[in-house]
Amino acid sequence: MQVESLPTTAYANQKPGTSGLRKKVSVFKENKGYLENFIQAIFDTITDRNASSLVVGGDGRFFNLQAIQIIIKIAIANGFKKVIVGQNGILSTPAASALIRKRKAVGGIILSASHNPGGPDGDFGIKFNTANGGPAPEKVTDRIFTYSKNIFRYLYIDSDDIDLKKTGGHRIEKTQIEVIDSVHDYADLMEELFDFTKIKSLLSSGNFTMVFDAMHAVTGPYAMEILVNRLGAPKETVCNGKPLPDFGGGHPDPNLVHAKELAEKMFSDNGPDFGAASDGDGDRNMIMGHNCFVSPSDSLAIITANATCIPGYSNGLQGVARSMPTSQAVDKVAEKTGIPCFETPTGWKFFGNLLDAGKITICGEESFGTGSNHIREKDGLWAVLFWLNLIAEKKQSVMEIVREHWQEYGRNYYTRYDYEEVDATRAEELMQHMRSNLSEIKNGDYHGVTISQCDDFEYTDPVDASVSSKQGIRILFEDGSRIIYRLSGTGTTGATLRVYLEKYESDPARLNMHTQETLSRLARFANEIADIPGRLKRTKPDIIT
Ligand code: G16
């Protein structure tokens, strides 16, 4: 078989966003060479391909299998030593990260648009993770983008498709292709971190019920193996467990809006004791108890506060990190327990250096992401198992654990408003206007409330000193409240403005108030300061989480 160097025309719009390149399926399918160019641009950043292994898999969304066959052929033509592929093309993002690390691969390609809808009219995406198992840092994605703008050829070999239905090995030219069980290694890793015996007895005690909503996305098989086969939960525990190319027509984003079915169950009379959901590619999580939603920021703080009662973390934590818009609840825990706490820009890639340098053990984001140094991605099922282990250990309900935490550390009331699919130019102008008027905003009249700081967040990585600027407008009030504005980097249509609101409360009598009512004054300020109705022509957010 001959390696062909096929001529191609570069595209100008292949700049990776918060997490990889995400576009409508039609963009990948209908533009000749669109997928091929981006893959070749990634491979061009890897110098020693003939000595390297590459991991490939995806969340099973529409176009996943077709894309994987093309990627394998480009990888063979580029002379990779080995390509490790998940059976049926399936690998959750955390499983891929674990595999890259375990097999010492040079990196991995994960085909996913995460929580974005799938199917022929939905979204598709390509993420590139580097040898540490984490999303490529900006210096790598910038190089990929530069290559993609200048590409004029890609390498290809016209071989037969690989049978991805069966595990096993194939050799084509100099490349070994290994099709592996998608779940096994990841499940073993979870068993190393958590007390499976304790969780098993909780699940079989007869007085604890749980439901896990896989949202017809990638975590179905992982949850079946871990929760049902290894931990003995009844089969019905996993709902929507069959991965489907269009996620059953749903939007695989684990929040109260898109995981509505689960939320209704959890807030019904006699609802289950514990509920959780994960997203398209298995890295996000939502945690719920009966009549109780745990905000991702609170979940991060509670996980941090209780880490030492979990076997994998019993030696203590080196430090923690949260993305800038994530609530400061975890900061309170770090302060009290005397461990360092880092504030990074949005995007898991910014945790990579801190984890690699051993500066942090646990990290998380408001966008339903929590994880630890066991891999370099956020990990949905890891968070679920953490909570199960914690419940088994503390013998308390989710609500009791949350309320006890607030009593000890105070509560950071928190919400996020999303204005979706707004005109991209208007959204940019809104951000630019604030950026140009930071001191006017700071000195404005807020009916007796004082702003202590107003800036556009800039991050200097404490490990490699790289600087990331324009990471979101922060308005910090004297009482610790915050309003943050930033544009999402994961959407595919127009722009999404995210507004994050936070208010700290330590008065024990005021810990169980209504979140939206508590934050309503800040919400009014946020609307006025950015003039959202005037600039975006929107009177209310599309999604409130
Ligand atoms: C990605 C990143 C996360 C980030 C999230 C939200 O998540 O991995 O680190 O917090 O996007 O980004 P944005 O606010 O820019 O939409 P995922 O689950 O989509 O890969």
Measured from the CB, is residue 328 less than 6 Å from ligand 1? no
| pLDDT for 103 | 97
Which two three-digit tokens encode residue 320? 């923690």
C-alpha atoms less than 13 angstroms from C-alpha of 308 in its C-beta half-sphere:
7
| pLDDT for 150 | 97
Measured from the CB, is residue 374 less than 6 Å from ligand 1? no
Q: What is the pLDDT of residues 112-137, one digit of tens each?
A: 999 899 999 999 999 999 999 999 98
| pLDDT for 428 | 94
The DSSP symbol for 135 reads B
Please give the distance, rounded to the nearest whole angstrom, from the Cα atom of residue 448 to the centre of ligand 1.
36
Say what the alpha-carbon torsion angle 379, 482, 343, 441 is, to the nearest 10 degrees.
Answer: 130
Q: What is the pLDDT of residues 47-94, one digit of tens each?
A: 999 999 999 999 999 999 999 999 999 999 999 999 999 999 999 999
Nearest residue (CA) to ligand 1, atom 19: 114
Amino acid identity of residue 543, one-letter, is I
* Among 490, 493, 496, residue to substitute to test ligand 1 (most atoms within 8 Å of Cβ): 490
Measured from the CB, is residue 22 less than 6 Å from ligand 1? no
| CA dihedral sign of residues 357, 361, 364, 370 | positive
CA 152 to CA 366: how far, in whole Å? 40
Q: What is the pLDDT of residues 398-424, one digit of tens each?
A: 999 999 999 999 999 999 999 999 999
Bridge partner residues of 21 (DSSP)? 126
Measured from the CB, is residue 348 less than 6 Å from ligand 1? yes
CB-based contacts of 270: which residues, under 8 Å, 6+ apart?
A: none
| pLDDT for 370 | 98
Q: What is the pLDDT of residues 311-334, one digit of tens each?
A: 999 999 999 999 999 999 999 999
Q: Which residue shows structure tokens 């500066």?
A: 359
CA 189 to CA 197: how far, in whole Å? 15
Please give the distance, rounded to the nearest whole angstrom, from the Cα atom of residue 4 to the centre of ligand 1.
36
CB-based contacts of 398: which residues, under 8 Å, 6+ apart?
A: 273, 274, 287, 288, 289, 290, 292, 294, 387, 391
pLDDT tops 80 at residue 504: yes
| pLDDT for 486 | 97
Percent of the chain whose predicted confidence (pLDDT) is above 70: 100
Nearest to 282 by CA among 494, 72, 66, 91: 91
Measured from the CB, is residue 490 less than 6 Å from ligand 1? yes
Nearest to 72 by CA among 152, 165, 169, 172: 172
Following DSSP, what letter does each residue of 238-282 receive, concatenated?
Answer: EES-S--TTGGGS----STTTTHHHHHHHTSTT--SEEEEE-TTS
CA 115 to CA 149: how far, in whole Å? 27
What SS3 state is found at 209?
coil
Taking CA atoms, 408 is separated from 270, 272, 308, 411, 481, in Å, by 29, 27, 17, 9, 19
Which two three-digit tokens encode residue 103? 């097999």
> What mean pLDDT is reported for the chain?
95
Please give the distance, rounded to the nearest whole angstrom, from the Cα atom of residue 490 to the centre of ligand 1.
6
CA 17 to CA 110: how far, in whole Å? 14
Nearest to 17 by CA among 138, 112, 110, 131: 138
* Among 283, 348, 366, residue to substitute to test ligand 1 (most atoms within 8 Å of Cβ): 348
Please give the distance, rounded to the nearest whole angstrom, from the Cα atom of residue 346 to the centre of ligand 1.
7
Nearest residue (CA) to ligand 1, atom 13: 488
The DSSP symbol for 350 reads G
Taking CA atoms, 503 is separated from 44, 270, 276, 511, in Å, by 47, 32, 26, 11
pLDDT tops 90 at residue 489: no
Q: What is the pLDDT of residues 292-302, one digit of tens each?
A: 999 999 999 99
| pLDDT for 490 | 78
Q: What is the pLDDT of residues 223-268, one digit of tens each?
A: 999 999 999 999 999 999 999 999 999 899 998 889 999 999 999 9
| pLDDT for 4 | 95
| pLDDT for 302 | 98
Active site residues: 114
pLDDT tops 80 at residue 170: yes
Please give the distance, rounded to the nearest whole angstrom, from the Cα atom of residue 19 to the centre of ligand 1.
6
User: What number does the ligand 1 atom closest to the CA of 116 have?
Assistant: 19
Measured from the CB, is residue 284 less than 6 Å from ligand 1? yes
pLDDT tops 80 at residue 492: no
Q: What is the pLDDT of residues 182-214, one digit of tens each?
A: 999 999 999 999 999 999 999 998 899 999 999
Q: What is the pLDDT of residues 420-441, one digit of tens each?
A: 999 999 999 999 999 999 988 8
User: What number does the ligand 1 atom closest to the CA of 17 have?
Assistant: 15
| Ordered domains of the chain (ranges, CATH) | 3-181 (3.40.120.10), 186-409 (3.40.120.10), 411-544 (3.30.310.50)
Nearest residue (CA) to ligand 1, atom 17: 114
pLDDT band at residue 178, thresholds of 50, 70 and 90? very high
* Among 116, 351, 365, residue to substitute to test ligand 1 (most atoms within 8 Å of Cβ): 365
Please give the distance, rounded to the nearest whole angstrom, from the Cα atom of residue 345 to the centre of ligand 1.
11
What's the rounded mean pLDDT across residues 496-514? 94
